[in-house]
Amino acid sequence: MQNFFGIEVDTASMTTEELQDARTKIREMLSNIEHQLLLRKMSERKFKDKDSVSSDSAKV
């Protein structure tokens, strides 16, 4: 049994086709998560840099 986001899945009883389909779907999901993480990191850096520029200009 494997636990995926709180859902128990019995991978031992799945057919080869079912396992391949699950692998494809999991890879797509991971790709989407990686993309969201990248976007958030870029956004955080942008706002962090913007805040530091604003505070630097406020000191002048």
Statement: residue 60 has pLDDT above 60: no
User: For residue range 12-56, what is the model confidence (pLDDT) as tens digits?
Assistant: 999 999 999 999 999 999 999 999 999 999 999 888 877 776 665
Distance (Å, rounded) from C-alpha 53 to C-alpha 19?
A: 50
Measured CA to CA in angstroms, residue 16 lies from 22, 53, 58, 59, 60 at distances of 10, 55, 62, 64, 66
Give the pTM: 0.65
Q: Identity (one letter) of the amino acid at 43?
A: S
